Amino acid sequence: MNVRNIRLAGMSTGIPIAAVLLLASLASAQTRRVERHFTVDGNPVVTVQNSTGRIQVRAWDKHEVMISAQASAGNPDFASEQAGNRIEIVTRPMATRPGAEPVKTEYEITVPADTQLQVRTDSGNVTVDSVHGDMSFDTVAGDLALQDVDGYMMIKSIGGSLVCTRCSGRLDATSISGNFQLVQPVMDNVRVQTSSGNILFDGGFQASGIYVLKNYSGTIEVRFSKDDSFDVSATSFYGNVVNQAPITPDKHKMRTPQYNTGMAKSLFGSIGDGRAKVELSSFSGTIKILKRD
């Protein structure tokens, strides 16, 4: 057998092997969606732990929690457990070859509207739509998008951002580098802190509401309308305060913080009757109080 024949023989046995390998890899690449259903009565508490991969939660009008899971490779491997109205979902880590992409598990979870949520993720993004229960989120790099939610929202993130659209209730959120955007909020208690991120509050201030927005750098932007009524305290230690509001001297004679030393730029006063209380503070960022279009 000459060299050419050896090569041909090698190819003839190699082709079926390659085909088998190809089929095997295609089979492993196929992913299957797994659904689980849990009947509940009353307001359920749903806890989700998923390291990577998106989590989508939306409300429906059934007394049932439906979990639909899909992994980026193979079958999703997760544990789900029901104890009364408490449902816990935990993704099991899947072993991967060194250097290979980690397997992500994505969830679509449908819950009754009055569900309490507890979500913990490292890098998976989370979206919640139309859920009206208290919720807490713990992320490292995952971003959050909340829409039409209502309740007490607690958010702790390292680098994740938040976009909250038409959110109601109360918000307590911290991040180091994440941005916070509150669009059309109807919230009466907002405490938001980020280190290097931007903060946008574009919505009405509720009477008796308290709004505390703080960062170290970045921009804090608050948009007001002519009907808004709030006392405002805005201080940037090394940055600037830009104001378009018709601020009058504080009607409630609040004590002025002694931040006016050094280079700090401050603004204190009332807009309207000063019904809500707005505290804006930044270390070196810019604070903007702007008219809403």
Which residues of the shown chain bind another protein in the complex (CB under 8 A)?
Answer: 51-52, 92-93, 96, 98, 102, 122-123, 140-141, 158-159, 174, 176-177, 193, 195-196, 214, 216-217, 235, 237-238, 257-259, 261-262, 264, 283-284
Q: What are the beta bridge partners of residue 79?
A: 90
Which amino acid makes up residue 135? M
Edge-to-edge strand list for the sheet holding 150-157? 78-83, 86-91, 45-50, 116-121, 135-139, 150-157, 168-175, 186-194, 210-215, 276-282, 230-236, 265-271
For another protein, which is the closer residue by CB, 14 or 93? 93
Q: Which residues, including other chains, have CB under 8 Å from residue 169's CB and lie 6 or more apart?
A: 149, 150, 151, 152, 153, 187, 188
CB of 193 to another protein, least distance (A): 8
For another protein, which is the closer residue by CB, 42 or 93? 93
CB of 196 to another protein, least distance (A): 5
CB of 90 to another protein, least distance (A): 10
CB of 154 to another protein, least distance (A): 12
Q: Is 72 left (phi over 0), alpha (psi -120 to 50) or beta?
A: alpha
For another protein, which is the closer residue by CB, 75 or 147? 75
Please check whether residue 222 is in contact with residue 279, taking contact to mean a CB–CB distance below 8 angstroms.
Answer: no
For another protein, which is the closer residue by CB, 195 or 243? 195
For another protein, which is the closer residue by CB, 93 or 246? 93
Counts for the chain of helices (H) and strands (E), in that order: 1, 24
Alpha carbons 71 and 15: distance in angstroms, whole number: 30
CB of 120 to another protein, least distance (A): 9
Q: In Å, what is the CA distance from 187 to each residue of 3, 113, 122, 164, 208?
A: 79, 18, 27, 11, 11
CB of 176 to another protein, least distance (A): 4
For another protein, which is the closer residue by CB, 165 or 174? 174
CB of 100 to another protein, least distance (A): 9
For another protein, which is the closer residue by CB, 140 or 247? 140
DSSP string of 56-100, one letter each residue: EEEEESSSEEEEEEEESSBS--EEEEEETTEEEEEEPP----TTS
Q: Which residues, including other chains, have CB under 8 Å from residue 106's CB and lie 6 or more apart?
A: 53, 54, 55, 56, 69, 70, 71, 72, 124
